[in-house]
């Protein structure tokens, strides 16, 4: 195998698709994409995922969950050949990639505990498996397993004792829920990834002395140890090498220790270690037929940006009194107004583009990562009820998906392929407007989404707080708000976040005004979904219809509480 060959390794399952592009001894690019279980993902979606991966590679190894039969492998290879017609293709199951990452060509047992779980063992040519049956019937010992049992514990404890454990309060707080009824409704629509994401709270509760929660965790570790011991026995391995992989083992070292302790009781000579290579690198290894050195990741250090620079005026924050801190904070916020005033022309241009898109039956998309993505999601959520437009007309795309609204999703901002794929997944067309939001202007997820939208023919805007951006992407309009260094270095949720929120308010509200959703300064399409809004609707109709409030309410009741229709009576 030539050192110049580019090898793409892909490992996909029910939670995500991870990939790495390797050349020589180095990972030159890597990322994560949506789930790609061969049996559960539609062929069209799977094709979109594969086409979002790097298009130039000499060898491609694709190993997906659900790829268990020769027929599966033939279908996957055929699809891969359509995407990479000149590459040498290797396909198989995600278990194959896990074995390769952990054991290379050697013998041993791999225990995977992430969202789900599985145990796979190999001795020479023989393979034995346990677990991996999915979250409904199996996945014992994975993050879903411990989280769903912990949720059941909360409700059982409440039913039996009207208990009010701190653990229950922490779960409600993490999900921004107010009571157990809301928790039940959330669980009915949550997918397995949403539920599994509660695992850190479960483990924290166990560490905090919640004994029933600790018993759930020990049960999961012991079940995985039972599977590993059974696989070891079937393979007649008295002293197996056991490698642990998956987010639960990686981030919860106590879980790895609990598993090792349980396995020692059944296989005292087992050697348990954490895996040191990711499964996508196992996919690379298989695509290279084992002819490769373990790659290393090289990162380039970028020049500091204005949003990351230190603010000389706030160098002594810890020495300030509360009043002095507030005075400094308020003074710094003056730069937000200055930044917006300096970009009035660009903001007006954005209002025109948004109004034009929606007038032409197009949609408005906000794309962001982290704070920027959450600000976009906030504005997108508020426009439909405020102005009575369809919820699909203003949409938010956030790196890392819905989970990123409540917590940081590691690596999501850097997911270039995911940014492009998100545009395809939403069906963006030439009628739509895509606004990329990035305080630094350099978030790969956002830039890739803008690039893909422009390829499709949609209009595009970049909203940033970095006027010194040197490699500005090709977009229809750039709004670069010069907010300057933050009072807390790099915390762009502060001045940059405030300026971004105001800019989005201007763009969306301005577009709605242009489209006739406001009369004077009144929201004539407000959705009266609660008492306060119904009272507002009555006052609106009374004022604009020049009638008393009793008549206004009668007209609203006849029109189904539609203000616009009530005004036509």
Active-site annotation, residues: 382, 413
The DSSP H or E segment spanning 19 is strand 17-23
Count the Cβ atoms, other than its own, within 10 Å of residue 403.
15
Q: Which of 26, 105, 92 is nearest to 63 (CA)?
A: 92
- The rounded distance, in Å, linking the Cα atoms of 170 and 173 is 5
Q: Which of 267, 339, 279 is nearest to 484 (CA)?
A: 339
Cα 308 from chain centre: 23
Helix residue ranges per DSSP H, 434-530:
444-456, 495-514
Q: Which two three-digit tokens encode residue 409?
A: 């999703």
Q: Which two three-digit tokens encode residue 19?
A: 């990939």
Q: Check: CB of residue 81 under 8 Å from CB of residue 51.
A: no
Q: Which two three-digit tokens encode residue 310?
A: 């230190």
First-last CA distance in the chain: 79
Q: Check: CB of residue 283 under 8 Å from CB of residue 62.
A: yes
- The rounded distance, in Å, linking the Cα atoms of 230 and 224 is 10
Three-state DSSP class for residue 41 = coil
Q: Which of 222, 226, 227, 228 is nearest to 258 (CA)?
A: 222
For tokens 């807390």, name the residue: 488
Q: Check: CB of residue 351 under 8 Å from CB of residue 507.
A: yes
Three-state DSSP class for residue 252 = coil
Q: Check: CB of residue 111 under 8 Å from CB of residue 274.
A: no
* Cα separation values, 188 from 160, 181, 183, 192, 553, Å: 22, 11, 9, 11, 37
Rg of the Cα atoms in the chain: 27
DSSP letter (8 states) at residue 404: G
Residue 480 burial (10 A CB sphere; 0-12, 13-18, 19+): buried
- The rounded distance, in Å, linking the Cα atoms of 138 and 155 is 22
Q: Is the dihedral of CA 201, 202, 208, 210 positive or negative?
A: positive
For tokens 């990834």, name the residue: 193
The DSSP H or E segment spanning 434 is strand 433-437
Q: Which of 266, 286, 241 is nearest to 111 (CA)?
A: 241
């Amino acid at each position: 195998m030539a050192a110049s060959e580019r090898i793409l390794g892909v490992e996909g399952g029910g939670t995500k698709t991870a990939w790495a592009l390797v050349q020589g001894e180095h990972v030159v690019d890597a990322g994560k994409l949506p789930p790609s279980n061969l049996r559960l993902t539609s062929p069209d979606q799977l094709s979109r995922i594969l086409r979002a991966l790097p298009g130039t590679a000499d060898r491609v190894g694709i190993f997906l969950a659900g790829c268990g039969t020769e027929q599966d492998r033939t279908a996957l290879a055929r699809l891969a050949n359509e995407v990479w017609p000149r590459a040498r293709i290797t396909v198989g199951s995600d278990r194959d990639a896990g074995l390769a990452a952990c054991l290379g060509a050697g013998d041993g047992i791999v225990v995977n505990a992430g969202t789900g779980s599985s145990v796979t063992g190999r001795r020479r040519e023989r393979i034995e498996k346990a677990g991996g049956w999915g979250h409904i019937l199996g996945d014992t010992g994975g993050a879903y397993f411990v989280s769903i049992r912990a949720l059941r514990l909360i409700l059982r404890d409440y039913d039996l004792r009207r208990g009010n454990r701190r653990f229950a309060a922490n779960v409600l707080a993490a999900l921004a829920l107010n009571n157990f009824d809301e928790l039940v409704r959330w669980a009915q629509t949550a997918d397995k990834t949403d539920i599994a994401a509660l695992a850190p709270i479960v483990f924290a509760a166990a560490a905090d002395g919640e004994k029933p929660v600790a018993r759930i965790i020990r049960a999961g570790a012991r079940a995985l140890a039972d599977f590993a011991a059974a696989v070891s026995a079937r393979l007649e391995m008295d002293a197996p090498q056991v490698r642990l992989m998956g987010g639960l083992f990686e981030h919860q070292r106590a879980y790895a220790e609990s598993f090792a302790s349980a396995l020692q009781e059944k296989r005292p000579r087992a050697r348990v270690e954490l895996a040191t290579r990711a499964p996508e690198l196992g996919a690379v290894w298989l695509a290279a037929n084992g002819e490769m050195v373990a790659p290393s990741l090289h990162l380039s250090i970028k020049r500091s940006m204005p949003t990351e620079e230190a603010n000389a005026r706030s160098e002594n924050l810890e020495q300030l009194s509360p009043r002095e801190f507030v005075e400094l904070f308020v003074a710094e916020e003056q730069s937000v107004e200055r930044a917006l005033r300096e970009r009035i022309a660009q903001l007006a241009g954005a209002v025109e583009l948004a109004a034009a898109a929606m007038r032409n039956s197009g949609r408005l998309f906000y794309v962001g990562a982290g704070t920027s993505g959450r600000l976009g999601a906030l504005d997108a959520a508020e426009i439909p009820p405020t102005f009575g437009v369809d919820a699909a007309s203003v949409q938010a795309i956030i790196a890392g998906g819905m989970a990123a609204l409540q917590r940081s999703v590691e690596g999501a901002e850097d997911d270039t392929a995911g940014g492009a794929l998100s545009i395809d997944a939403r069906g963006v067309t030439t009628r739509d407007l895509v606004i990329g939001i990035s305080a630094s202007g350099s978030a790969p997820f956002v830039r890739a989404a803008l690039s893909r939208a422009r390829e499709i023919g949609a209009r595009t805007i970049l909203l940033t707080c970095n006027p010194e951006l040197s490699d500005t992407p090709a977009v229809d309009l750039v709004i670069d708000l010069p907010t300057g260094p933050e009072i807390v270095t790099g915390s762009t949720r502060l001045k940059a976040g405030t300026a971004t929120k105001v800019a989005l308010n201007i763009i969306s509200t301005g577009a709605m005004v242009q489209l006739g959703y406001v009369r004077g300064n009144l929201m004539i399409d407000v959705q009266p979904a609660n008492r306060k809004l119904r009272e507002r609707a009555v006052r609106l109709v009374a004022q604009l219809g020049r009638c008393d409030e009793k008549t206004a309410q009668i007209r609203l009741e006849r029109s189904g509480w539609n203000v616009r229709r009530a005004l036509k009576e």
